[in-house]
Structure 1
Amino acid sequence: MYRLANFNEENTEEGSVYRYISVAVSKTIIDCLDEYLDDTEKYDAFFQYTFSDSFFEGLSRYVLPKALCLDEGDDDAQAGYEFTFSKMRRMREKMLDQNEFYTFDVFEEMLLYSMCDIEAARARTAAGRKKRELFKDKVEAARAELREKFKLNARDANDFSRKMYYASAMLLKNSEDDNLIFWDDDYAFFWKDGFIKGIGYLKSMVGQNAGYGYKYTCDIFSDIGIKTPLMLLGTAEANRIANEEEGKRIKDYMDDFYGNITGGKEKN
């Protein structure tokens, strides 16, 4: 099931408001995933919508695709195609697990964002509005349940009930503290220059300081049964040394920078 953001986790037992919301959110995410996992044509469209042509450039050097391509350069896209499909299947498995609450990794969060973004665009069409009508009664029932049984205030009950059944409502708001689904938009930063550079950012000092780091980056692969590509990630020890060196360079730069400002004297 889905681990909710910015929500009290002290009680997640059966009958709790946490589990009540998470069960519905998880089912909504599963429905989104099933749309693409069960239909190759729709998955192709989702893949093209989510990634630029060069996003997975270089990936096949480290993760060999099962379906090799004849055209040079297509192996990268095929490796990304298979990798993404495996991640989405794993996301579905996590949402079906009734015993564990999962936080998606930063790649999976990007996929969730893309699905929600597509739903938000659909919500503005006649077909999208018709689809939302199918869940209107569930949203209203959830709003009443959150107010009457769980004693949430009107604002939260209205917001949470919509997020429970409308993927289009799950997207980040301006204030991260008001979000229930996404903790932040780190996915936008780490994948902005493509997959290979994103992996580099995550295992670097930048990623480490943001709460990610080497093991987290390895788990992005191992979670779907892919052996850690050491040619891409290097060893844990090599990464530790590289990050220490990077940290030292940053410290030296900052010391020089502030030294120049203060004329080499400490501020009072």
Structure 2
Amino acid sequence: MNTIKSRPPETPVDAVQRTARIAGVWFVLTFVFSIPAVLLYDPVLNDADYILGAGADTRVRVGAFLEILTAVANIATAVVLFPILKRQSESIALGYVALRILESTVIVMGIVSVLAVVTMRQDLAGAGGADAAQIGRSLVVLKDQTFLLGPAFCAGFGNGLLLGYLMYRSGLVPRPMALIGLIGGPVACATATAVLFGAYDQQSPVNLLFTAPEIVWEVSLGIWLITKGFRPAPLIAEAPPKTTQDTA
């Protein structure tokens, strides 16, 4: 008679490591979704008269769909990590979740502006004239500003400063790696502020250079969590605090 071997029960440490790997997947997915979205948006973002031309509406819609998935992945990274990070500091962990939600909300605003250009192009069928072209350009400018305020400011402060601090203090990932985020986040916010006040263009090499540490931090964190999980740290051994319902 064959016996069915049952799986050993999952330990708290196993559950935490599973959480780490899920969070890592979500971090990687933010890049998997967002980078193609930027490339697919190119016709509407870089053609001043897109609204009057033949258009590449399907391509732009696919980009919008990928950016919606990016917004979902952004929120998921914070929600998945929250039960672990709140053991270090619940207020900072909650702030991180709030900033990721705010970032995703701003991203969705940009998606709406791009889809509005597509809809207007179809309704006007190339007959809108100079006024329609100006409206289209205004909507594209709105999209550019949402990128500045969302992925630049919010990600720099949230993923960089807050998450970098929590990871550095807890030791859940190597501290030198967390230090990249802790430094790169404020630098990303500073360069976004410089762009906001016209010091240089958002697409300039200078802005890309100052944003690079934040990008390196997010990519390295995602890869580390998938491949290594969390490092041994007191937070992992701590049991979640019991609720009133648990003690009743």
Does TM-score exceed 0.5, indicating one fold?
no
Which structure shows the bigger proportion of residues in helix conformation? 2
TM-score (norm 1): 0.30
TM-score (norm 2): 0.32
